[in-house]
């Protein structure tokens, strides 16, 4: 294929089509008219000699060839974006770009409301694509330039990645306000007497609770395992279960109106830090540096509240 004969704007259309699997939504994403996007799809089909998207009873689906193209296309576009952004001025008031950020639902609840409020006021052309990945997938995504920035804790990574502490946190015990154990400080006997709810995707329960108890030959009674933190307050409010969670999450949940009692753990547990992670290739990227600064500012605001 002669690269000079290819309109590289077609790659932008291809990325949107493979992301949205819908011609109209893809056209809206990149600012084209629906007929223009349909024409781009026709040209892409001719270029790659494949249908790329086929209509099914449940909507448009990508062909195997399209699936092969999805990741390389995204990487090429991100590399081009990085070349154009490198060492250039960045004005959030007029910039048009999408940041891909790794956040769990827990961190999203803590950070996103203020971040989105700031974007709406000061950076209306900036958008967020939030992904929730495991620690290993997060490191892989940063290294492969699939993620601009990650907020997580304790990631094991090479020197290719940078990190800095964003905010300190500690684990606490949460239960409904009228729970039988809520009337007094949470002693160890009470803590172990009641059944517990655990979040299976989070390493914090294991590291800061179960491992600590195991060192003393103790074990709590786990009745429910759930995959997401935002299920926790709803379950606690309808049961006598107890949950251990980061104090910042407990504060965000109570501020949102969930009627929870928050107590210190009945045993020593080390504080920990949520950190920002990014690839060193973005050290001098003004857009990502700006986003890091925004998150630092939010964390500072949370510390003062």
Q: In this structure, what token pair is assigned to residue 177?
A: 């306000």
Distance CA 53, CA 59 (A): 10
Counting every residue, how long is the chain? 305
Say which residues have a Cβ less than 8 Å from residue 138's Cβ, sequence separation at least 6: 102, 147, 150, 152, 155, 277
Rounded to a whole number, what is the distance in angstroms from the first to the last CA of the chain?
59
Query: Which residue's entry shows tokens 């090429």?
Result: 76
Q: In this structure, what token pair is assigned to residue 117?
A: 């409020």
**For position 82, what pLDDT does the model report?**
66
Phi, psi dihedrals of residue 163, rounded to the nearest 5°: -150, 155
Q: Specify the DSSP class assigned to residue 210.
A: I
Distance CA 67, CA 38 (A): 19
Number of other CB atoms surrounding residue 78 within 10 Å: 17
- C-alpha closest to that of 98 among 59, 70, 125: 125
Dihedral of alpha carbons 104, 109, 111, 116, sign: positive
Q: In this structure, what token pair is assigned to residue 295?
A: 């998150």
**For position 6, what pLDDT does the model report?**
64
Phi, psi dihedrals of residue 287, rounded to the nearest 5°: -70, -45
CB 205 within 8 A of CB 198: yes
Phi/psi-derived region of residue 43, left when phi > 0, alpha when psi is between -120 and 50, beta in every other case: alpha
CB 269 within 8 A of CB 204: no
Q: How far is CA 272 from the centre of its chain?
A: 19
Distance CA 106, CA 202 (A): 10
Secondary structure (3-state) at 290? helix
Distance CA 243, CA 252 (A): 15
**For position 83, what pLDDT does the model report?**
66
Residues of the chain with pLDDT under 70: 1-6, 82-88, 203, 205, 305
Domains and CATH numbers, the chain: 3-73 (1.10.10.10), 97-160+276-304 (3.40.190.10), 171-270 (3.40.190.10)
**For position 284, what pLDDT does the model report?**
84
User: pLDDT tens across 55-64, in order?
Assistant: 988 888 999 9
- C-alpha closest to that of 128 among 99, 95, 91: 99
- C-alpha closest to that of 303 among 22, 16, 110: 110
Distance CA 284, CA 162 (A): 12
Beta strands in 153-241 (DSSP E): 161-169, 171-176, 195-199, 221-226
CB 186 within 8 A of CB 264: yes
Radius of gyration of the chain (CA): 23
Distance CA 22, CA 62 (A): 10
């Amino acid at each position: 294929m002669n690269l000079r004969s290819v309109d590289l704007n077609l790659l932008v259309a291809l990325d949107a089509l493979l992301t949205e699997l819908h011609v109209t939504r893809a056209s809206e994403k990149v600012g084209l008219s629906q007929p223009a996007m349909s024409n781009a799809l026709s040209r892409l089909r001719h270029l790659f000699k494949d249908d790329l998207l086929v209509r099914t009873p449940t909507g448009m689906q990508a062909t195997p060839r399209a699936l092969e193209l999805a990741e390389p296309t995204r990487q090429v576009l991100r590399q081009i974006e990085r070349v154009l952004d490198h060492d250039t001025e960045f004005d959030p008031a007029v910039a048009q770009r999408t940041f891909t950020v790794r956040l769990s639902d827990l961190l999203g609840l803590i950070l996103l409301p203020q971040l989105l409020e700031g974007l709406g006021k000061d950076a209306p052309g900036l958008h967020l694509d939030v992904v929730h990945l495991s620690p290993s997938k997060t490191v892989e995504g940063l290294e492969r330039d699939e993620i601009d920035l990650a907020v997580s804790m304790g990631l094991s990574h090479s020197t290719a990645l940078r990190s800095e502490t964003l905010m300190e946190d500690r684990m606490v015990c949460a239960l409904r306000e009228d729970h039988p154990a809520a009337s007094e400080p949470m002693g160890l006997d009470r803590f172990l007497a009641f059944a517990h709810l655990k979040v299976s995707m989070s390493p914090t329960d294991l590291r800061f609770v179960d491992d600590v108890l195991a060192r003393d030959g103790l074990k709590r009674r786990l009745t429910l395992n759930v995959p997401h933190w935002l299920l926790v307050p709803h379950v606690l409010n309808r049961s006598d279960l107890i949950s251990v969670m980061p104090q910042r999450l407990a504060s965000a949940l109570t501020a949102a109106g969930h009627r929870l009692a928050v107590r210190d753990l009945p045993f020593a547990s080390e504080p920990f830090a949520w950190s920002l992670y990014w690839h060193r290739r973005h050290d001098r990227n003004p857009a990502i540096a700006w986003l890091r600064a925004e998150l630092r500012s939010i964390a500072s605001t949370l510390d003062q509240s």
